[in-house]
Amino acid sequence: MSKIILSIHPRFVDKIISGEKRYEFRKVKAKLPPEKIFIYSTSPVSQVIGEAEVENILIDTPENLWKITSVYSGIDKAFYQNYYKNKQEAIAYQLKNVIVYPEPKELKEYGINTAPQSFIYV
């Protein structure tokens, strides 16, 4: 198992913190399954605001994955369908034990100079 930093838009970060969003969706899965995700809130925040444990990694067709995750997806079905348009496989990291840092951290504290496009191992 590994640890990764995921780039996530601030509006979704807020939903993860509130518990409304318990799944983080991706088109590509990490080759080394992460046990922990550091949450990098993209611009304008541009900082690591917290972390979460990965309870499960779900991989299925977009249709089947939506049936499983929709209640705590934190997104609407139209957004989801557009995100996975023309994709045969959908990935969702099921998050648990979300911790928000009292003070956000800079990427350089993890030895990283630029924000990851999607994710980066740490």
Q: Which pLDDT band, with edges at 50, 70 and 90, does 93 fall under?
A: very high
Q: Which pLDDT band, with edges at 50, 70 and 90, does 65 fall under?
A: very high
Query: Is 85's pLDDT higher than 80?
Result: yes
pTM over 0.75, yes/no? yes
The mean per-residue pLDDT over the stretch 74-101 comes to 98
Q: Which pLDDT band, with edges at 50, 70 and 90, does 75 fall under?
A: very high
Residues 48/5, Cβ–Cβ less than 8 Å: yes
Label the pairing between strands 90-105 and 119-121. Answer: unpaired
What whole-number distance in Å separates Cα of residue 111 and Cα of residue 109? 6
| Sign of the C-alpha dihedral computed for residues 109, 114, 117 and 120 taken in this order | negative
Tens digits of per-residue pLDDT, 10-48?
999 999 999 999 999 999 999 999 999 999 999 999 999
For the chain, the average pLDDT equals 97
Query: Is 1's pLDDT higher than 80?
Result: no
Centre a 10 Å sphere on the Cβ of residue 17 and count the other Cβ atoms it contains: 17
CATH number of 2-121: 2.30.130.30
Quote the longest CA-to-CA distance of the chain: 40
pLDDT at 96 (0 to 100): 98
pLDDT at 107 (0 to 100): 97
Q: Where are the domains of the chain?
A: 2-121
